[in-house]
């Protein structure tokens, strides 16, 4: 009867820890940012985190230490409404929290160029269920879109928002490349404000001198883009080489996508000291 099980009222995060063989430790990527977003998602649901963001980071490190993880992991914290009660209201409920980690490799199987399909399912609007909040119930929208895409023979869905503009994948943000610039849907386009998306924009600017236009993207821009990729904690940076049976650009993995992906892996694997602030190290017990 748990409220969150009955009504989908949990706020959660998906976080990656990268195992570094050389130093013999786990580096959790942008952990603080994830808990900050969890706090915002929780506020939408009128929930509160059980502790400060700093303390939750320490608890996450402790979890990895106790699990004795020696490989890449996926970490999922969730705030949920624990009362066993009938009635969907968010107030007068008791918040609870869990966190688990498990060994995790690739999330999307096809890393060499995906074929995505525009979904017949629209992304939920801010006044329906806010996409900027990472809320469990919202993933029914993602599940429907991803299932349809898979059954239609695509690798992943691209959801348009209610206004017909490009939103995001079922659990990834989207970028296209046009005339050497990155373009990504804006924060008010009914997307999750992805941490990998932010990372991509920051790395592209600082390391490659490439700027990002944040604006509406029309569906047909996907067909005429020079490059396209999806990004997320699970997806990391995954190139899209075909959309709706049409080749994107040359139909091969794009040059900028490749440079960004290489750079991204250098950073998350701890090979770029300049970005060590983004890594939360878990030292052995």
Residues assigned a catalytic role: 134
Sorted by sequence, the CB contacts under 8 Å of residue 268 that are 6+ apart come out as 16, 18, 27, 29, 236, 279
Q: Looking at beta carbons only, is 205 or 246 nearer to ligand PMP?
A: 205
Q: Looking at beta carbons only, is 60 or 173 nearer to ligand PMP?
A: 173
Asked if residue 44 lies in contact with residue 90, where contact means CB atoms within 8 angstroms, the answer is no
Q: Which stretch binds ligand PMP (CB under 6 A): 19-27, 100-108, 166-174, 270-278?
A: 166-174
233 binds ligand PMP (CB under 6 A): yes
172 binds ligand PMP (CB under 6 A): yes
Pick out residues in 174-193 that bind ligand PMP (CB under 6 A).
Answer: 192
- What six digits make up the tokens of 271? 């090979």
Binding ligand PMP by CB under 6 A: which of 17, 130, 232, 254? 232
What is the CA 124 to chain-centroid distance, rounded? 16
Taking the complex as a whole, how short is the minimal distance between the CB of residue 232 and ligand PMP, in angstroms? 3
In the chain the first and final C-alpha atoms are separated, in Å, by 38
Asked if residue 114 lies in contact with residue 238, where contact means CB atoms within 8 angstroms, the answer is yes
17 binds ligand PMP (CB under 6 A): no
Q: Is the dihedral of CA 264, 188, 169, 97 positive or negative?
A: positive
Taking the complex as a whole, how short is the minimal distance between the CB of residue 89 and ligand PMP, in angstroms? 25
Taking the complex as a whole, how short is the minimal distance between the CB of residue 3 and ligand PMP, in angstroms? 22
* Rounded alpha-carbon distances, angstroms, from residue 104 to 15, 75, 235, 281: 11, 9, 12, 18
9 binds ligand PMP (CB under 6 A): no
Asked if residue 99 lies in contact with residue 76, where contact means CB atoms within 8 angstroms, the answer is yes
Asked if residue 2 lies in contact with residue 131, where contact means CB atoms within 8 angstroms, the answer is no
Taking the complex as a whole, how short is the minimal distance between the CB of residue 273 and ligand PMP, in angstroms? 23
Binding ligand PMP by CB under 6 A: which of 4, 41, 171, 257? 171
Binding ligand PMP by CB under 6 A: which of 5, 6, 8, 14? 14
168 binds ligand PMP (CB under 6 A): yes
Q: Looking at beta carbons only, is 43 or 92 nearer to ligand PMP?
A: 43
157 bridge partner residues: 117
136 binds ligand PMP (CB under 6 A): no
Closest listed residue to residue 166, CA positions, set 91, 227, 216, 121? 216
Asked if residue 229 lies in contact with residue 257, where contact means CB atoms within 8 angstroms, the answer is yes
78 binds ligand PMP (CB under 6 A): no
Q: What value does the CA radius of gyration of the chain take, rounded to a whole number of Å? A: 19
72 binds ligand PMP (CB under 6 A): no
Q: Under rule CB under 6 A, how many of the chain's residues touch ligand PMP?
A: 13
Binding ligand PMP by CB under 6 A: which of 64, 114, 176, 195? 195
What residue ranges bind ligand PMP (CB under 6 A)?
14, 142, 168, 171-173, 192, 194-197, 232-233
């Amino acid at each position: 009867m748990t409220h969150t099980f009955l009504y989908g009222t949990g706020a959660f995060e998906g976080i990656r820890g990268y195992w570094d063989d050389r130093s013999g430790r786990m580096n959790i990527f942008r952990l603080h940012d994830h808990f900050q977003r969890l706090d915002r998602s929780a506020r939408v649901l009128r929930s509160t985190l059980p502790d400060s963001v700093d303390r939750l980071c320490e608890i996450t490190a402790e979890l990895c230490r106790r699990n004795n993880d020696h490989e890449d992991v996926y970490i999922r914290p969730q705030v949920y409404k624990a009362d066993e009660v009938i009635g969907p209201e968010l107030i007068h409920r008791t918040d609870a929290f869990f966190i688990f980690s498990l060994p995790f490799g690739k999330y999307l199987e096809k890393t060499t160029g995906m074929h995505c399909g525009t979904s017949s399912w629209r992304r939920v609007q801010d006044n329906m269920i806010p996409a900027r909040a990472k809320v469990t119930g919202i993933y029914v929208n993602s599940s429907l879109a991803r299932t349809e895409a898979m059954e239609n023979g695509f690798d992943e869905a691209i959801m348009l928002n209610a206004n017909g503009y490009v939103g995001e994948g079922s659990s990834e943000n989207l970028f296209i490349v046009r005339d050497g610039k990155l373009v990504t849907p804006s924060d008010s386009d009914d997307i999750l404000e992805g941490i990998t998306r932010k990372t991509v924009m920051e790395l592209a600017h600082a390391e490659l001198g490439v700027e990002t236009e944040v604006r509406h993207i029309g569906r047909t821009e996907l067909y005429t883009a020079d490059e396209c990729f999806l990004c997320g904690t699970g997806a990391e940076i995954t190139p899209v080489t075909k959309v709706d049976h049409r080749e994107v650009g040359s139909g091969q993995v794009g040059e900028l996508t490749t440079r960004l992906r290489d750079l991204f892996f250098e950073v998350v694997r701890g090979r770029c000291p300049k970005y060590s602030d983004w890594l939360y190290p878990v030292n052995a017990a």
